């Protein structure tokens, strides 16, 4: 399991989705959660950076866990996700400050994500408000975004959750480039009746 954290953490960092000590990720194992340590460097994770703590209630290891542990717990309790990735993706954060939802125009993210809702909260990190809002939204979406803070994504494994935040970041980069050009795009997609279904 450590190797999965190490490899995905490195890929997240090398993809420029976080700063040196930003972001967090976790995996659910029954009634336990493996989560990155508070203040860890995802690009250089060691075994001591993976904290095992309870899904319900605090224990001796909880204080070492990421400050977003309350959010991760809420997501696991309310969704079928088994892995969570949270990043501070720059293009996604910029896009989150321009609209209440992110609607990709590129074919990959259009197919994978359709759209990603954006939520504006008073406290954007590790609060019960974030936990309630994000966990409820992830019952319907693979990935959601907090305005000015970044996306949370769920998957069956870390790689899947990473795919959603990576695809979203590329989609937002394309949207931001489009805006910088100030040009109208030629629509190329034909959506069938099942497009809005998951």
Q: What is the DSSP string of 10-63?
A: HHHHHTTSS-TT--EEEEEETTEEEEEBTT--GGG--GGGEEEEESSS--TTGG
Of 33, 27, 31, residue with least CA distance to 5: 27
pLDDT in tens, 28-39: 999 999 999 999
Least confident segment among 37-51, 88-102, 111-125: 111-125
More confident residue, 89 or 188: 89
Check if the beta carbon of residue 28 is closer than 8 Å to that of residue 82: yes
Between 158-181 and 2-14, two packed helices, what is the crossing angle to 10 degrees? Answer: 10
Distance (Å, whole) CA 34 – CA 55 = 9
Model pLDDT, residue 194: 57
Q: Phi first, then psi: give them for residue 48, nearest 5 degrees.
A: -70, -10
Mean pLDDT on 174-192:
81
Query: What are the residue ranges of helices labelled H in 122-157?
Result: 128-137
pLDDT in tens, 143-170: 999 999 999 999 999 999 999 999 999 9
The answer to whether the Cα torsion of 124, 125, 131, 137 is positive or negative is positive
Mean pLDDT on 185-198:
63
Model pLDDT, residue 163: 98
Mean pLDDT on 91-98:
97
Confidence of residue 192 (pLDDT cuts 50, 70, 90): low
Mean pLDDT on 83-108:
97
Residue 193 in this model has a pLDDT that exceeds 60: no
């Amino acid at each position: 399991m450590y190797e999965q954290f190490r490899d995905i953490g490195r890929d997240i960092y090398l993809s420029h989705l976080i700063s040196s000590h930003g972001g967090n990720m976790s995996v659910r194992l029954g009634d336990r959660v493996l989560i990155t340590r508070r203040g860890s460097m995802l690009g250089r994770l060691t075994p001591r950076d993976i904290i095992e703590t309870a899904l319900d209630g605090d224990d001796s290891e909880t204080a070492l866990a990421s400050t977003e542990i309350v959010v991760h717990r809420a997501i696991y309790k309310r969704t079928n996700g088994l892995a969570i990735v949270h990043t501070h993706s720059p293009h996604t954060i910029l896009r989150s400050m321009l609209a209440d939802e992110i609607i990709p125009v590129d074919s990959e993210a259009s197919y994978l994500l359709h759209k990603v809702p954006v939520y504006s909260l008073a406290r954007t990190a590790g609060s019960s408000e974030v936990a309630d809002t994000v966990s409820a939204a992830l019952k319907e979406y693979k990935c959601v975004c907090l305005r000015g803070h970044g996306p949370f994504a769920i998957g069956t494994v870390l790689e899947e959750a990473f795919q959603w935040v990576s695809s979203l970041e590329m989609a937002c980069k394309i949207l931001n480039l489009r805006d910088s050009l100030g040009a109208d795009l030629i629509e190329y997609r034909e959506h069938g009746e099942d497009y809005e279904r998951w």
